[in-house]
Structure formats: structure tokens, C-alpha cells
Structure 1
Amino acid sequence: MMRAVLPLPRVSLMVFVLWAVITNAASLGQLVLGAVLAIAIPLLSRDFWPAPPPLVRPWRALRFMGVFALDIVTANWRVARQIIGPLHRLSPAFVEIPLDLRDPFIATLLGSVVSLTPGTVSIHVDQQRWVLLVHALDAPDPQALIDEIKERYEQALKEIFAC
């Protein structure tokens, strides 16, 4: 019964909390509208959500989130220095990163992590060749970027989800 109304309870909770924060929900009406949205959005979109693999090592996920948060801060600083400095020193590049993982959900998650880190944008996850295409603002050594993404992110995601 509960799964029929809330097929994705975490998504419902996230929608409700985000609605309350964004609207500064100080009224009962705003909270009720947030609850309606928290029920309706997952119900309408449940067919589009892939089933994620089980989280096998949650403690590793906490460590990964810490590393990722630190990477976002340091990348913001690095990108700010790069765009304020002489632009002719930048070496933008498209880089193909061969993936060792074979789970579409985890590959998409990896692409999202790369895109959220300033200075890089994930363009495409090729599930035929298992390659992640990334655009980097500054990649004078593409192999170093490949190694960094594989070691810091892909390996950690493989450990977290045991894939």
C-alpha cells in the first residue's frame, strides 16, 4: 500500500524538503502543496527512474562525499584563478575516459560527479564502448585527467556499489 502512494520515498522526501526550503514554507498551504508535489512527482516519473544497485559500503560513500566536496572547493578556486588569469594559457580539451564499470546507473552517476566539479563537464556516456566523454576547461595532460577521474571517482564508486 505504502509503495503504491510513495514509490520512491527518498525522492518524495527530497521534493518536500526542497519545496519547503525554496518557498520558505511558513504557511500550511505551502506545506500541503509541497506534500502534494512530493507524492505526485515520483508517481508520475517512477517509470523513468532506473533501479540503482545496492549501496554495499556506506562508510566508503561518506568518505567519497568528503573527497568530492573538497574537490569542488579546490576546483572552484583553480577555475577562478584560471579565468582571471591569461586565457591563452588554458588548454581546453575533449577527453575520452575508458570506463571499467559496466553499470549504466553508476556510469551516469560518475558523469554527474564530473559535471559538478568545476572545470569539467561530462558530455556523453557511451554504453556501447563504455567511454565517458568529458570537456575540460584546462587539460594540458589529458592522461592526467583520465587518471584523476578513474582513481578519485570511478574506483570509489565501484567500491561503494560493488560493481
Structure 2
Amino acid sequence: MRTRFRSILPSIPLSLMIFVFGILLADRITAGQIVLAGILALVIPQVSRRLEREFARIKSLKPLPRLACVVLYDIVRANIHTARLVLGPERQLKPGWVWVPLDFKNIHGITALASVITLTPGTVSAELSDDRKYLLVHALDLPDPQALIDEIKTRYEAPLKEIFP
């Protein structure tokens, strides 16, 4: 009986949260909205149960303060550089795409790396290869693709490899 109940509702807290948010997000509470929230509360946990999960493993938080300072400095520096590019002549822009090879496959570390890249003005992470070996990055100003790759690997990926094994 218990296993049959778990097959219908694999995660009661998740179902309750989905139901409550389904009601809260509605403009007004109607019978149809309650039914829709109930259906979503039953279906979404079923679908999410089938997803591949990878739990975060953290080796050390020691590099985190230094990484935070580097990221904050780079954000300020990139804001100034990007403002100059955007306000300057359009012909000075040299946008481009580059595949950054990754030295680690931990999805949480890769997500942190992609977030840091996207937080830095003038760059955005666009895609992760299926084998998790490359991250596609777009840069507003890309005169030297290898220099961008080297900067990402030394300033961001190296400390993240120390945090996420």
C-alpha cells in the first residue's frame, strides 16, 4: 500500500509546494484553478522523479573569498569596458563565440562557472556540450579568443575546481 502511494505521490512536500504556489500565482481562486494546481501537484513530481540527479559535492570553501573578490573586481572592470564599447563607435566592436574547454565535469561547478561568466558584463554563457567538456561563451569584444579562454580558466575555473571536485 505504501509503495503504491509513493508511486502516485513520490514527494509530498514537493506536491504541496506546487499546489500552494499554483493557487498563489492565480489571479483569483476558482474551481478550475484548484483542479489545475492539483493536477500539476500530481504530475510534476512524477516527471521530476525520473530526472537524473547529481548532488553537490564541495571539497573546500577556502578559495571562495578570493574568488568572490576576483569576480567583483572583474564585474566592475567589465562594466567600464563594456560601457566604453557600447558608447563608442560600433566598428570597434569585435563580438565572437568561443568554446571554452573544461577541466572538470561536476555540473554544480560548471553551473557556477557559467553563472560567473554571465554575471561579467560583455560575456554570456550560451551552451554546454553534451559531454560536459566545452562551454560556449559569447563575448561582446573578442579580439583574442585564446586570451579569453586563458582568463576564464585561470581566474574562474581553477578556483572552482578547488571548491567542486
TM over 0.5: yes
How much does 1:57 deviate? 2.6
Structure 2 equivalent of residue 85 of structure 1: 88
SS in 2 for 1:101: coil
Q: Which runs of 5+ in 1 are unaligned?
A: 8-43
Distance 2:54 2:104 in 1: 16
How much does 1:58 deviate? 1.8
SS in 2 for 1:59: coil
Runs of 4+ in 1 over 6 A off after TM superposition: 4-7, 46-49
In the alignment, is residue 132 of structure 1 matched against residue 135 of structure 2? yes
Q: Which has the larger radius of gyration?
A: 2
The aligned length equals 123
How much does 1:6 deviate? 9.0
Q: 1:105 to 1:127 in 2, by over 3 A?
A: farther
In the alignment, is residue 99 of structure 1 matched against residue 138 of structure 2? no
Distance 2:55 2:99 in 1: 26
TM-score norm. by structure 2 comes to: 0.66
For 2:73, the aligned partner's letter is: L
Is the 2:105–2:132 Cα contact (8 Å) retained in structure 1? no
Aligned pairs (5 A) from 1:11-160: 50-54=54-58, 56-128=59-131, 130-160=133-163
Q: 1:6 to 1:63 in 2, by over 3 A?
A: farther
RMSD: 2.5
Is the 1:108–1:125 Cα contact (8 Å) retained in structure 2? no
For 1:86, the aligned partner's letter is: P
How much does 1:65 deviate? 0.6
Structure 1 equivalent of residue 32 of structure 2: none
Query: What is the aligned-residue identity percentage?
Result: 45
SS in 2 for 1:133: strand
Q: Which runs of 5+ in 2 are unaligned?
A: 1-10, 15-44
How much does 1:50 deviate? 4.5
How much does 1:158 deviate? 0.3
SS in 2 for 1:143: helix
